[in-house]
Structure 1
Amino acid sequence: MKKILLATAAVLISASAASAADLAAHPYTKAPPLPPAPIYNWTGFYIGGHIGGAFGNSSNSIFLPGAVNNNDGVFMGGGQIGYDTQFSPNWVFGIEANYSFLDTSSTFANRGLGSVTGRIGYTWGPNLLYFKGGYGWADSRFSNGFGGNGGRDGYTLGGGFEYLFTQNWSGKVEYQYYDLGTVNFVGPGPRFVRGNLHNDQHTIKIGLNYRFNWGAPMGAPLAPGY
């Protein structure tokens, strides 16, 4: 009996050692690496279009029929072209030229608004919050006595939010204010009427840009689906 017990114990010990050796033979496998975080880059040229509305202050009117430029608002649409550069992980600087046609039939109102502005923005992920300012111009083409026939110079300020849907397409919502100075008026008719008004405009628009990414860093991992 004693010999049988010793033999059984020896067999069990040998089996345990063999199992341990088998376990040690399997190499450790690392978990697969995580995919790189997506990189959104704003550097490059872009071109796009926009639609929205333009609103004058209630004081932007004169006392002749059809000469009112008030805060009821008119439809606007146009285009923009520009260039952005992302000069640090979270900051973007750009320059943009913009022109908007205004849907107005009045010969006393602005027919279009243009601007050349710089902009500075803060970006996180695909989001960009920005402020802009620079030269503003009104295509007045006045034919009824306004001084500065053909256009009015001034300044513009604004800001907005832009979102990268893909690395080549972005959409934006933007507010822009135009201050075009004081306009002097001499009215037509048997009695010449004189007056002046402050020519300024508030605009709100949505836009879509196509981005060429010329000048963006090469080889950077883009967001999924880009």
Structure 2
Amino acid sequence: MKKILLGAAACVAFAAPAFAADLPARPYTKAPAPVYRAPEAIYNWTGFYIGGHVGGAFPGSNNLQGSDARFMGGVQGGFDYQFANNWVIGAEAQYSWLTGNSGTGVLFPGGTVVTGNTDQIGSATGRLGYAFGPTLLYAKGGYAWRGNDNLLGVSTNGVPVAFAATGNHRDGYTVGAGLEYMFTPNWSIKGEYQYYNFGSTTFTGGPAPIIGAHFRDDEHTVKLGINYRFGWGGPVVAKY
């Protein structure tokens, strides 16, 4: 039995090279060329910024300033911090000048007219946003201030008369929302809506028709702005 097994093994050993020689050669396949993928840009919103804005201001309903829009322009500055990849939190101070009178005021019986006009407004707000690459969608809110105590006036048949009023605050609150786009490493543009509320005004003295009259002191604003961002802003190349 051992002789038979040894003989079979010898036959296999001698036959294997001959069998392998009869097999066709393995074709050569060139490895595919690597596909280059450009690294994605990551936009970093962290940093300080300053800028300016222009837009319009529109008094709310039941407002002493009438209904006409006024031009506004101003400056802003702040700081943003990006965290958790896409969330952005920040703080911003903003100051705006408002030009012209918003309207003819409110007419009462007997030719009595009450007027009001705000010529400057400012705010100090926090803001929270979500970044889609170079685009930031945000909401804001905080403290609001206005100048010149709303410039109240009362006249009868064109003649100024004495009056007394409560409210007419210089301090209030503001809320808003906007969209900002980073179009170069350090520059961004934004469109923004912001609402300012300074309480209300109630007339307690003066011509009889106005006593007890109550008005809301608020402003609706829309703005287009541009910001210059220091240091951290703009795209950086992702590391792989």
Instruction: Give, as a single letter, the amino acid of the residue that structure 2 aligns with 1:40.
Output: Y
Equivalent residue, structure 1, for 2:187: 169
Shift of 1:193: 5.5
C-alpha distance in 2, partners of 1:71/1:192?
21
Equivalent residue, structure 2, for 1:112: 120
Equivalent residue, structure 2, for 1:202: 220
Equivalent residue, structure 2, for 1:75: 71
CA deviations on 1:197-219 (whole Å, 9 max, x unpaired) are 210110011101111134x69x9
CA deviations on 1:148-191 (whole Å, 9 max, x unpaired) are 78x61110011011111012011111000111001244777x98
Equivalent residue, structure 1, for 2:60: 57
1:45 pairs with one of 40, 44, 48: 48
| Contact 2:199–2:217 (CA under 8 A) maintained in structure 1 | yes
Q: 1:86 to 1:133 in 2, by over 3 A?
A: same
Equivalent residue, structure 1, for 2:160: none
TM-score of the pair, normalised by structure 2: 0.68
Instruction: Give, as a single letter, the amino acid of the residue that structure 2 aligns with 1:130.
Output: Y
Equivalence map 1:139-218=2 (5 Å):
139-141=147-149, 142=151, 144=153, 152-185=170-203, 194=211, 195-214=213-232
Percent identity between matched residues is 49
- Please report the RMSD computed on the Cα atoms of aligned residues, expressed in angstroms: 3.1
C-alpha distance in 1, partners of 2:167/2:96?
20
Q: Is the counterpart of residue 99 in structure 1 residue 95 in structure 2?
A: yes
Equivalent residue, structure 2, for 1:9: none
Structure 2: give runs of 5+ residues left out of the alignment.
1-23, 103-114, 154-162
TM-score of the pair, normalised by structure 1: 0.72
Q: 1:148 to 1:140 in 2, by over 3 A?
A: farther
Q: 1:135 to 1:101 in 2, by over 3 A?
A: same
Shift of 1:55: 0.5
